[in-house]
Amino acid sequence: MELKEKKILITGGTSGLGFSVAKSLIKKGCLVNVIGRSEDNIKKAKKIISSKSFKAFKGDVRNYEEIKRITDKVGRIDILINNAGVWLKGKLQDYSCSKIDEIIDVNLKGVIYTTKLVLPGMIKRNEGFILNVSSTSGITPKNEQTVYCASKYGVTGFTNSLKKDLLSTNIKVAGFYPGGMKTKLFEKAGMPIKNKNWMEPDKVAKVIIFILEQDDQELIIDHLVLNRRRE
């Protein structure tokens, strides 16, 4: 797909991988809209990108009405990148129910809600691209990640089913399955990790740009992205 002037929506586009993708897409001449929770990260993102083509909205993907107000404001969306996510590690018996709800609601229901809001416009135009950021935890069981894995396996299942539903259309759906990246995901969850040698989000973003630029309707373009030094 030629990316110039395409209108993009990235959930969780105010930091980490989502922000790296936003920066790359601005360089490609796209109109980039991002959603994030923290005012601080929204301000930082706007300061760094500082372009008329970049808009950052405060919104919580768990709140359907809030996201609807944003998607209504944005209007046409050519490419949706469902990327917002939160992290949790530990033993199931130690999790509170509110923590479990948060992980499932942000990582899984957030993807479903945002897609449900954006899809009708894409169907009307018979055009679009939906890229869902799952994780290696969405295809491989991991120790002490029961709920995080459940949320990401959910994204994988949702993505693959949606892909089937839309096979006869011009709307592409892809899953993206990164391994460990050097972002603040873990720190924000109060569980800092030694991730100095993990993948740079700016490099991983390049793979996403590669996927979006493919225009062959026959290709299945899911990508698993691993750190050679770690995995």
Ligand X SMILES: NC(=O)c1ccc[n+]([C@@H]2O[C@H](COP(=O)([O-])OP(=O)(O)OC[C@H]3O[C@@H](n4cnc5c(N)ncnc54)[C@H](OP(=O)(O)O)[C@@H]3O)[C@@H](O)[C@H]2O)c1
Q: Is 175 in the site for ligand X (CB under 6 A)?
A: no
Kindly tell me which residue out of 33, 85, 113, 163 binds ligand X, with binding defined by CB under 6 A: 85
Which residue number, 86 or 118, has a Cβ lying nearer to ligand X?
Answer: 86
Kindly tell me which residue out of 3, 18, 130, 208 binds ligand X, with binding defined by CB under 6 A: 18
Shortest Å, Cβ 62 to ligand X: 5
Active-site residue, selected from the candidate residues 64, 113, 148, 153? 148
Dump the DSSP string for the chain. Answer: ---TT-EEEEET-SSHHHHHHHHHHHHTT-EEEEEES-HHHHHHHHHHH--TTEEEEE--TT-HHHHHHHHHHH---SEEEE-------S-GGG--HHHHHHHHIIIIIHHHHHHHHHHHHHHHHT-EEEEEE--GGGTS--TT-HHHHHHHHHHHHHHHHHHHHTTTSSEEEEEEEE--BSSSHHHHTT-----TTSB-HHHHHHHHHHHHH---TT----EEE--TTT-
Q: Is 183 in the site for ligand X (CB under 6 A)?
A: yes
Kindly tell me which residue out of 125, 184, 203, 230 binds ligand X, with binding defined by CB under 6 A: 184
The reply to whether 64 belongs to the active site is: no
Kindly tell me which residue out of 180, 205, 212, 222 binds ligand X, with binding defined by CB under 6 A: 180
Q: Is 88 in the site for ligand X (CB under 6 A)?
A: no
Q: Is 11 in the site for ligand X (CB under 6 A)?
A: yes
Shortest Å, Cβ 216 to ligand X: 26
Q: Is 128 in the site for ligand X (CB under 6 A)?
A: no
Segment 33 to 72, residues that bind ligand X, using CB under 6 A: 35-38, 41, 59-62
